[in-house]
Amino acid sequence: MVDVILGLQWGDEGKGKIVDYFAPNYDVIARFQGGPNAGHTLYVNGTKMVLHQIPSGIFHQDKINIIGNGVVLDPVTLKKECDAVASMGIDVKKNLFISERTNIIIPSHRALDKASELSKGEGKIGSTLKGIGPAYMDKTGRNALRVGDLLDKKFISKYIALRMKHQKILDSYNFNEDISEMESEFFECIEFLKTLNIINCEYFLNDQIAKGKKVLAEGAQGSMLDIDFGTFPFVTSSNTISAGVCTGLGISPKQIGEVFGISKAYCTRVGSGPFPTELHDAKGEELRKIGSEFGATTGRPRRCGWIDLVALKYACMINGVTQIIMTKADILDSFETLDLGIAYEMEGKQIDYVPFQLVGTPVTPVWKTMQGWNTDSTKMKSASELPATMNSYIEFINTYLGVPVKFVSNGPGRDQIVHL
């Protein structure tokens, strides 16, 4: 059986810590989509670690960690990450496995990403410029290089052919940056990648399932960034929802068990795009300051706002969420009152659903105001210790969504999670 952990908002929900917390209960942890635009933050023995490509179960040495075919892989980022993990005593050559079908990000993908974003002017989408979009475009365009191709004697000629295709597009943008240093580093890291465990993931994973092993699928970004169901066109380039587990790992839908959806107790977004409950006042700044809301991958300040229950209910629906994990509840500890977005006002109408298009149409949230708990929750270990006002906040969310909040994270530490 395969359980799933994924984000329900616009990313940055705290998936890394949660996967690390649940990892001891599983035999295999597998990333099923996304690329180095992900930034999953963990605290291991008091040391902060941000993972962009490697699954968040890597610090559990008895667990198998898989990078699935739905991921786009940057060999340079992977090498740096493996070195950082190895410095903490982890042998990645023992417990990290990579699907041979995983698509590779090459240096010209990064150049294409930058050239495309620059060409959009004020209409830019806020890309991380990691080459993710162009890499997925090559996948759907059937031009991509895959990890299995590294073992082919013709890899260099395949690389050159793809590089030349990219150059024609770069020329059309009049983009002239020199990427030769990036290419040198890329080929050095390719040699390292060849030394890792490259597997036929779909057979390997289904064999593990047949043996009764428990698998945890780890998502990246968030549901509202899904290429199909997110706030298009301000989305990522992959399917971030639970359906992506099947195509990103090679398993059937009947294997999916629990779907754990992660949501902050409030809401954030990095980059451009709709954000109905965004705050442009002192409270928004206070959320950013207390929550240290700066992107783990880009360092950009995150836009902050109150929780959006309309979008959250939508995300629960399309993912088939069975349990919710609420993170960063402690960030709300000092607020006397809390607002929750329970509907949208658009074009003179009040709606309680996510419309086809949120871009270009003014949206005013309808608020439900509740009493804050105004208490330090960071040292609380059990549900019985939580303030009554926090329980009321959670109960209102449970009723609105029709899906229960089962865990509350009340700090960055591994042990700061309360099971309700």
Write down the catalytic residue from 12, 20, 226, 330: 12
Catalytic, 40? Answer yes
Catalytic, 419? Answer no
Write down the catalytic residue from 3, 40, 138, 330: 40
Question: Which amino acid does the sequence have at 341?
Answer: G
Catalytic residue positions, numbered: 12, 40
